[in-house]
Structure 1
């Protein structure tokens, strides 16, 4: 039986930290913490919770190694001070990787993002369209999206192709796209449907309703300017702002510099 939730609740009570403040400090909803009290802390969250409170993760997980370490929040502090102190003392940490597949249930703080991809149209002739497709999904943290101001229902992911943004965003990188943010903010990165071609570019506004596409790899890829009429003719549609990206880098990949 997973009793880690009971140890967590006892430790919070002893340290004088409200459940709501603790939940906010690690980026989850209070009801998630209440679930943990009953069902135990999810394995992938043990190190996050232990580090935030300054306790021994082994003790928190299964009661091993005796007593917890000296708490970072002491019982003589007021509850009002707790969130501030937790924020100050929250260390940088790496959570252990947990393998998963399509049958693995989502954790309380996770959502599944759908994939945007270039799809060849049934009419053929090499024509493609950027569409949301069924099948591949990416598990993503709600906390990360909250930090980026992204509504999970408006988030999708796509794959970057080419080296126009090398070495910032590598070929094959997965990018997170906020479909709820299509307004151009100069200097932000966006995913674009350019007449069926999926592109990832920095955007700037131009007078008269035009836009400039800019690549990070400026020496090889020059700016592309489009007037309003060209945007209409070439069916340039902003899919959303890129708020996150990640790359798997094989050992024998080409050098970054």
Structure 2
């Protein structure tokens, strides 16, 4: 069997505040997504978001039916976004082939059937990161290169957070039903992301950290503003962020991260900012 599924139930703020380090990791950290020749899928009950890593080598890997969605086909009532963070590869959807180079993305609309994943070179396989949320209407499938993404530059070197937010699945780039997906890249010497912190009470979010040296670690901060906690993450780890939690981090070296949101609206700017003096 080339596909494995892990189900994550919702963790509330009171429960999270009482958990020790391992308990927090069990509830929010997603490890081991990328294994050669396998599909590793985590089904989160936070807005029914699915987080998945797909690494095809010599054989094509296919996502068609996943029992946990309760539908005959995976995309029957879902949309998906795929970002390649490995070697070159291809995704086949509805008999159309889409080549994805490093940091290219593909949005796939609801009802498009099975998705097949291939690597150009089995010795340098693609690493497809897939995100999927429920959908109620079909939107066109679109290939999105890094150059096509909307660029939003934020932060400064003085605050150690100079970065570019590349918005892939975003109303100004690609139509979608519920998903918002992007890639944040940092300038040399900048290590802080999403600080000052904010909340997304109307949406959940998930981060995937990558592009890190083997020894680099991310200190990812979470929790209610008055009750913060942290998780230590390595490259290719993902972290689930409920609407009640801040989501911010600092790295011991250079890194990038992919963010994805699902929930009530499509407004990237819909957030509740948290004053620095409110953090505990």
Which band: TM-score by shorter chain? under 0.3
The structure whose residues are more often helix, as a share, is 1
The structure whose residues are more often strand, as a share, is 2
TM-score under structure 2 length normalisation: 0.22
TM-score under structure 1 length normalisation: 0.23
Highest Rg: 1 or 2? Answer: 1
